[in-house]
Structures are given as structure tokens and as C-alpha cells.
Homo-oligomer: A and B are copies of this chain.
Amino acid sequence: MPEIKIPLSVPTSKTSEYKRNYNLATAKTGRLLLIAGDQKIEHLNDDFFGSGISKEDANPEHLFKIAAGIPGALFATHLGLISRYGSNYRRLPYLVKINGKSNLGPNEEKNSSACWWSVDEIVQFKKQSKLNVVGIGYTLYLGGKFEAKMLAKVARAINAAHQNGLIAILWVYPRGKNVNEEDIHTIAGGAGVAACLDADFVKVKYPYKTKNNKLTAEKFKEVIAAAGRTKVICVGGDKRTSKEMIATTKEQLTISGTNGLAIGRNLHQRSFSEAVKLGQDLSTIIHAPQKKKRSTFLGLF
């Protein structure tokens, strides 16, 4: 079990709580298999019903079933779903996603700066529900007219989370007219912002559609370096085969130096049995025992 580097924004009185949450989130490996279940806001019902999607996915409980079937997975979703299904899935570690926006309306008006729930409300929920709520998640869009509000909101939320011994995971997406969202240098910039904001993990995009996968994974080290001691996990991306997913995840972990994967549609659009199989395979490579090593980025580059 790797040593946990506790940020100084966690008070001494909450150190053990933070460690417990961190270990629950990462299956004591320091690495995340994050089941991202916030698409019911982000994509409404598009990701859950339609051709190519398992009929089981129509019901939100499908998400809970899958998460419960994958050892070591951390399930991230909004408070409402946890409030409704949590009592039947008490063993799961939960990350409460505290913002979100739908896919309706013009892009430039889209804004999800406000936190739906304060950290105090989440702490209260954790206390009364007795669920394993380990932390908060927030999607940060860099660029555009809502950036300032988002940065301020999330900085406060992360600090409040740490003050309460919770972990904080940021989804960071640079946006704007001239922004190439799959450019590694730009992604690295977003990862660096997460570091400045004291996030424990940052979830970023990964350029999956490249000719040379190994070269991409190598170049992606820029992102890991920029994030400093904030750990990087990659989004699962559009639907791919299980084999492809496992291959690229391995490359990310071993070449780039990521610390896990976030997976949403790629998981829940499959049937329960297929999803659990894929999830277990991913858990095996993510949560496998690692050799303890010092960061060697600077020397290796």
C-alpha cells in the first residue's frame, strides 16, 4: 500500500479521515478506477437509451449494479441518485459530483459554475446516511466567460473538502473557439490548473485517435509532469472495444504515468455482465500492486 501524501489543506484532526477516504477511493493502491455516472445531466437520456445501448442502461440502478460488481471502483454521481439507491449499495465508495449542465441550448450560454450542494451539505449527508462518501467531483471549464466563477467556486469547494477530510477530483476541460481539446500541451495546462487548485486527482481528455499510440503515451508525460503531485486520470472516451480500452489504459499507466482511468459510457452502455467483466479487467491492471518508486519524470524525459 503506497504512502499517501497528505496535502497541508487537510487539518491534522482530519488526517485519518482523509487517508480512509483516499484508500476507499483507490482500493488502497493510490490509483483510481472512477465510474463516471454524471451523464444523466451532461447528456440527458442520450447515453442511456437508444441503438447500441443495452436496454438495462435505461434504469439508473444499472450504474449502481455495475459499480457494485467491480471491486475497487469509485462511483461518481450526483447526490440525488445516491440518496435514492445508496441504501441498497452500502459498500460502494461514492464521490458526489457537485455540478453539471445539460446538452441543451447554445454552447456559449452553457455554464455550470454553481455548486449544487455545499461541502457542508455533503458532510451532513454522509453523516446521516452512513454511506462511504469519500469526496467531491467538479467539472471545470477553462476559458470563456464563466471561468472566473468556476475557479473561485471550485477552489473553495476543494478547500472545504480537505478541511473535512474528503478528497477532491476535478474534471478539467479547456474550452473555446481556438482550443484543440485533444492537444496534449493544452491538456497539460488544464492539469496544472488542477494542481494550483489543490485537487487530489484530475480527470483529463486523452488523444485516443492517434497513429502511434506509444508515442502519444510518451508525449502525454507532459501532462503528468504539469500536474505535479496531483494525480492524473484519463477519460475513457467514446465507445471502444474492451481490448482497445485495456491496451490504452496499460499504456497510460506504464508509459505516461497516469494513476487510473475514468469510465462512463464505455461501461454502462454494455450489459451488466459485459460491463462487470470489462470493469474487473481494468481493475486488475489499475489496482495491481505497483513497485514503490520515486518520481523519475525529470530524469527520464
Contact = CB atoms under 8 A, between A and B. Distances in A.
A265 interface: no
A289 interface: no
Given A8-B86, A109-B144, A117-B155, A197 B128 contact: no
Contacts of A9: 79, 83, 125, 128-129
Contacts of A116: 151-152, 155-156, 197
Nearest to A174: B104
Interface residues of A, number: 100
B151 A196 contact: no
Given A40-B189, A41-B151, A117-B159, 13 more contacts: A9-B79, A11-B128, A44-B186, A45-B192, A49-B225, A55-B301, A60-B228, A85-B228, A104-B144, A104-B174, A109-B145, A111-B147, A111-B148
A50 to B, nearest CB: 8
Copies of this subunit: 5
Contact of A80 (B44, B121, B196): B196
A61 B149 CA distance: 28
Contact of A41 (B8, B79, B125, B193): B193
A259 interface: no
A227 to B, nearest CB: 8
User: Ordered nearest first, which 10 A-B pairs have the shortest CB separation?
Assistant: A44-B189, A104-B143, A80-B198, A114-B152, A116-B155, A8-B129, A78-B196, A105-B143, A60-B228, A40-B192
Contacts of A44: 142, 174, 186, 188-190, 192-193
Interface in A82-98: 82-87
